[in-house]
Structure 1
């Protein structure tokens, strides 16, 4: 079954693809700006919504809410993915951005514990649950859409393009936080300045909603199979299992570097927050610049081969984090940038690899379900686990954990290719 969109002419094909990919990409940037922002400023949010005599305990409470958002991602994948496989991709992608923009605005203006007591934490939790449903479908559906709107042989490049915009969102989250902290100072940032990046994110949502209205539909009547969507997912259960570990290992590595290490630096080692945001921004720039290149490499040298090699490289690279065991910005910068190259290799390819394990007629449902389970089990808990292990002198266990996930993901992926098949990028 072809994954390309049938259009009237090559010129129209190219114009429609460019418009679609721009709207798609900017929506991804917004989703991940809003999503990651919470993790980046969790050390500020914790004391306002979960006050405690211990600052680290407040931060861990905020990170727990951050993790809860991941727990409902499978629900978003199950509900919205099945709808996307039945009524089409476009309307669901508009819905996901709308949900993210509204909840980001609510977080920006939400009263604190000092003003309304425990209800402040409840409001925060509800917002994260809604955002979890939204992102549960956004990431896998966006990659599926990019594959379906791209010419054969360029699917990995399309995934690199989507990854570029995802990383743009991460960079913007770090960059806006950095400049807000630089302009307002540490005291104001702690008191109220953390709200400013959330307000900016909610305003960005209006622009993205306008652009996404131009997205063409890629799921047509001829793409729908006679069998049910869920029967198709069940038929490719091995692909679903492989997808969970392919995504889970990458996300555990990702959140350890993008959220766990910066949070560890601010809450446990009391590093200057402005420089911590600078390190996060630099990491985002590496991911941003590397994504298109990795996509090009995967199309040139074959997706399966590129994925296997880059995933195996993650096994030794995660042990770099053991070098940051005491306060010191030099150690933080060295670890973050030392692991950044392997991180960009893995973060660019994991979504296209996951997408390739499901046929088109059940792709949105299967990819969203696998993605949601993976980030709930491994991604959302990574930053919390990293900080907790450090505070209990068990940090050495964390890289072993990610290395094991990486090895399991390679074994399951190769098994799924052999017994279940691949449906894109090959």
Structure 2
């Protein structure tokens, strides 16, 4: 049943979605630009003659950033549940700005030995904390700020903005590839995107301070929901441990597939398919552009048919399709063949990315929603998403690259079982006001078992 809202209310929701999405874009630009430009700065911090080993070192630091995501998810998720989504979103972008600035000024191996690699490591740890809180705060904010019948569409903006952040980084790389020489890019050009990232984050910090709090959190703070000290605590989360384990299981396959076909794809096309760096970058840029456009359509579809059909379609496609797609990509000899295969993979992944934020937020009540999304999601990402690129390169270095394809399929299979067994969350009420709007509703708002009448 679709809500009828006055024009002012719709405009308020629209502004909230735009404001939350712009901040998310800059956060993920800063996060992904490290992986995007690693092919140019890897040998600046890790000398040697083996390009794969150099990329493994930079990928290792990329993965270490994920280890801080559970810490950031816990600290900032707790802050979002106790002090509001807006305050957590403002803090995350400030942390990201500082981290980008640290990478921009990090000394190379020739200037300071491995001290530069240490600066990279510290910056990635700070970025990991920031992004651990950002995912949960933005997922919660975008879902709560959306009308009840359009939460799939609204939450899909998270991956639209996340992907646009990647595209911004790739666009800057493509521009620099055509304006700077390879030597200039490797000596100093790679620092430019990190300087820009720090500046973008400062602007977003100012914008986020002007966001409005969501109705669900404002209602709870005003007395419409729980007001005890357990909000945003691990004790409160433990009461919803089944949902927390669900978040980890449903994230497993999606995060491995996403990082395989986004951050690792360019390196795979260069290192395994033998493509030129500029061609591989263009393939990634074009496929991600289409991927971003698909997200709202898939999110809106989930508002009509439910979340589970899309999740199951993704998991089946990834389980049976990863090996043939990745094998074919390794033999891709042209831009168009690589683009077609990349698009096929990302269309499959869209079944997860377009709605996973809404699904996770819909599993928890308001008082523990941000922490409930943040901590289990961050743990799953630290164990599987952040290590995907490193695992892929490890298999390649060991001479068994195709084993990684089976690894991705196996992770998707675990999530497929989860999707089949879990309830559909499309009709869950996220606030008491939404629950009371349904005559005869007697189930706690946010309960994953609540199914409102349509």
- Cα distance in 2 for partners of 1:80, 1:134 equals 8
Matched, 1:311 2:315: yes
Matched, 1:213 2:209: yes
Bigger Cα Rg? 2
Judge conservation of contact 1:247–1:354 (CA < 8 Å) in 2.
no
Shift of 1:350: 2.0
**Highest relative contact order (Cα 8 Å, sep 6+), 1 or 2?**
1
SS in 1 for 2:180: helix
Answer with 108-117 or 264-273: which moved more.
264-273
Shift of 1:424: 9.4
Shift of 1:36: 0.8
- Cα distance in 1 for partners of 2:76, 2:40 equals 32
Shift of 1:423: 6.7
Of the candidates 319, 340, 357, which is equivalent to residue 346 of structure 2? 340
- Equivalences for 1:221-232 in 2 at 5 Å? 221=221, 222-224=224-226, 226=228, 228=230, 229-232=233-236
- Cα distance in 1 for partners of 2:110, 2:245 equals 45
Matched, 1:180 2:173: no
Matched, 1:377 2:404: no
- Equivalences for 1:12-411 in 2 at 5 Å? 12-218=8-214, 219-220=217-218, 221=221, 222-224=224-226, 226=228, 228=230, 229-267=233-271, 271-319=275-323, 320-325=325-330, 328-330=333-335, 332-411=338-417
Which segments of 5 or more consecutive residues in structure 2 lack a partner in the other structure? 426-446
What is the count of residue pairs matched by the alignment? Answer: 419
Choose between structure 1 and 2: higher helix proportion. 1
- Cα distance in 2 for partners of 1:376, 1:125 equals 15
Q: CA RMSD in A?
A: 2.3
- Cα distance in 2 for partners of 1:237, 1:414 equals 19
TM-score (norm. length: structure 2): 0.86
- Cα distance in 2 for partners of 1:321, 1:70 equals 25
- Cα distance in 2 for partners of 1:115, 1:90 equals 41
Name the residue aligned to 1:421: 448
SS in 2 for 1:53: coil
- Cα distance in 1 for partners of 2:313, 2:276 equals 37
Judge conservation of contact 1:239–1:413 (CA < 8 Å) in 2.
no
Shift of 1:167: 1.4
Judge conservation of contact 2:273–2:330 (CA < 8 Å) in 1.
no
- Cα distance in 2 for partners of 1:315, 1:268 equals 22
SS in 2 for 1:421: coil
- Cα distance in 2 for partners of 1:424, 1:284 equals 35
Judge conservation of contact 1:106–1:127 (CA < 8 Å) in 2.
yes
Judge conservation of contact 1:355–1:363 (CA < 8 Å) in 2.
yes
- Cα distance in 2 for partners of 1:281, 1:422 equals 40
Answer with 255-264 or 120-129: which moved more.
255-264
| CA spacing shift, 1:84–1:37, aligned 2, 3 Å | same
SS in 2 for 1:41: helix
Shift of 1:94: 0.4
- Cα distance in 2 for partners of 1:270, 1:123 equals 32
TM-score (norm. length: structure 1): 0.92
Q: After superposition, give the CA deviation of every residue in 1:52-79 in whole Å (9 maximum; x if it has no partner).
A: 2322211110010000001110011111
SS in 2 for 1:324: helix
Judge conservation of contact 2:69–2:129 (CA < 8 Å) in 1.
yes
Shift of 1:226: 4.2
- Cα distance in 2 for partners of 1:402, 1:17 equals 37
Which segments of 5 or more consecutive residues in structure 1 lack a partner in the other structure? none
